[in-house]
Amino acid sequence: MLLIQDLAQLVTHKGTAAAGGETQDQLTVLEGRSILIKGEKIAAIGTTETLLKRHPEAKRAPKIQGKKLIALPGLVDPHTHLPWMGNRRQEFNLRLRGVTYVDIAKKGGGILNTLQAVREATPKALTRATVDRALSCLQYGVTTVEAKSGYGLSLKDEIKQLEAIRDAQAEVPLRLVPTLLAAHELPPEYRTDRRAFIDLIVRSIIPEVSSRKLAAFCDVFCEKGFFSPEEAFRILQAAGRHGLKPRLHADEFVSSGAAEVAGHLRALSADHLNFPSDAGLRAMAKAGTVAVLLPGASMFLLHRHHPNVSDLRKHGIPMAIGTDANPGSSPTTNLLLVMRLGSFLYGMSAEAAITAVTLNAAASLNLAGETGTLETGKLADLSLWAVPHYLDLFYHYGDNPLAYTICRGKVAFQKR
Ligand SMILES: [Zn+2]
């Protein structure tokens, strides 16, 4: 049991479905409320007086004084590439000198650079790196993190990455949600035979990953120069037959027809979306696909062209925000910072950005029934912040006022 008493504000969306259009801007803000946690779940929300009347046993519960704190749902990071090795610290400086991401990839940098480091790593070292990064998420109030493979690009090494996520889960209090991203890039040994690599994904990697229950989702980097819409269809349909739900890296650099694929396959998410077509947005809206926006990557890659937030709103497409934590285009697990970039780079309201890292991010992972809002019956995944008002999370854009991260009813991180 845990009682969080007399919060300055309790800030949350409501419900179990992603919020699009104007509803994304509508938060519930309550003052002077307390939250009673029993076991892993939120047992009750109300004033301290009514809670203690209805739950007298709560008098004996450990307490957190909330008068100088606000409570948000635990943040959900719906897009990371957590199990990586090595670093690519030289690349951003090349970009600042005018070399493009695609040119860096052609010269053997980019994803292939990380591929080598991951293939050479021992399973233990890869798990350690994944644990360390997952733990670092806690200091930003994050309680759920999606994590992708995609730097192995062989049966053995994709499995090694997914096993690192599985083994890391045993050591961290927050929830890790694994995604297979074998179609991230062509590995060097299949450079001249892309069809054979896609056959490998469809006939070997997907069935093996599925039978060993190592992933919940399958992702494809659907982009000109990477994987075509037709290839994405083939891979994601095969994944679907094996129980892996589809999500996509979509239209990051150019309009590639990826948003259309996401809509037609009823993908849970289409991510990046700097250049979706109008037909693609209509297909996504019809399918209820969440747009996972990654403003950290926009900033780090010096992109001038951003997703059109007002277009997404107009189509009623729910927006989520993720860090895209990866060594090349967004080497950070700081979802607090990236949420702010959603506002200051893309023009999302503070309310829409908060919804994007809570309810909508949870919905994009099929977890909105369990987490992403502060409501009775949901998991007690909470973030507590030492500010008087939720707008201060954006207004003081350089501060990290996190006080507590609570995962499933247990204090997982406390700022000293
Ligand atoms: Zn990504």
What's the pLDDT at 153?
97
CA of 15 to the centre of ligand 1 (A): 28
Whether the predicted pLDDT of 101 surpasses 90 = no
How far apart, in whole angstroms, are the C-alpha atoms of residue 122 and residue 321? 32
What's the pLDDT at 335?
98
CA of 78 to the centre of ligand 1 (A): 10
For the stretch 339-393, pLDDT in tens is 999 999 999 999 999 999 999 999 999 999 999 999 999 999 999 999 999 999 9
CA of 342 to the centre of ligand 1 (A): 16
- Mean pLDDT for the chain overall: 96
CA of 249 to the centre of ligand 1 (A): 6
Residue extent(s) of CATH 2.30.40.10 domains in the chain? 2-73+374-414
Whether the predicted pLDDT of 112 surpasses 90 = no
CATH topology of domain 76-364: TIM Barrel (3.20.20)
How far apart, in whole angstroms, are the C-alpha atoms of residue 370 and residue 254? 36
For the stretch 52-90, pLDDT in tens is 999 999 999 999 999 999 999 999 999 999 999 999 988
CA of 324 to the centre of ligand 1 (A): 5
Class of domain 2-73+374-414: mainly beta
CA of 14 to the centre of ligand 1 (A): 28
What is the average per-residue pLDDT within 156-185?
Answer: 98
For the stretch 184-204, pLDDT in tens is 999 999 999 999 999 999 999
Identify whether the C-beta of residue 98 lies closer than 8 Å to the C-beta of residue 38.
no
Q: Which of 106-110, 163-167, 304-308, 310-314 has the lowest mean pLDDT?
A: 106-110
CA of 377 to the centre of ligand 1 (A): 32
For the stretch 31-42, pLDDT in tens is 999 999 999 999
CA of 19 to the centre of ligand 1 (A): 23
pTM: 0.97
For the stretch 8-59, pLDDT in tens is 999 999 999 999 999 999 999 999 999 999 999 999 999 999 999 999 999 9
Residues 6+ apart with CB under 8 A from 304: none
Count the helix, strand and coil residues of the chain and give each as a percent rounded to the nearest 5.
Answer: 40, 25, 40
CA of 241 to the centre of ligand 1 (A): 24
CA of 79 to the centre of ligand 1 (A): 6
Strand ranges, E, within 172-268:
175-183, 217-222, 245-250
CA of 180 to the centre of ligand 1 (A): 12
CA of 115 to the centre of ligand 1 (A): 14
What's the pLDDT at 6?
98
Residue extent(s) of CATH 3.20.20.140 domains in the chain? 76-364
How far apart, in whole angstroms, are the C-alpha atoms of residue 9 and residue 27? 12
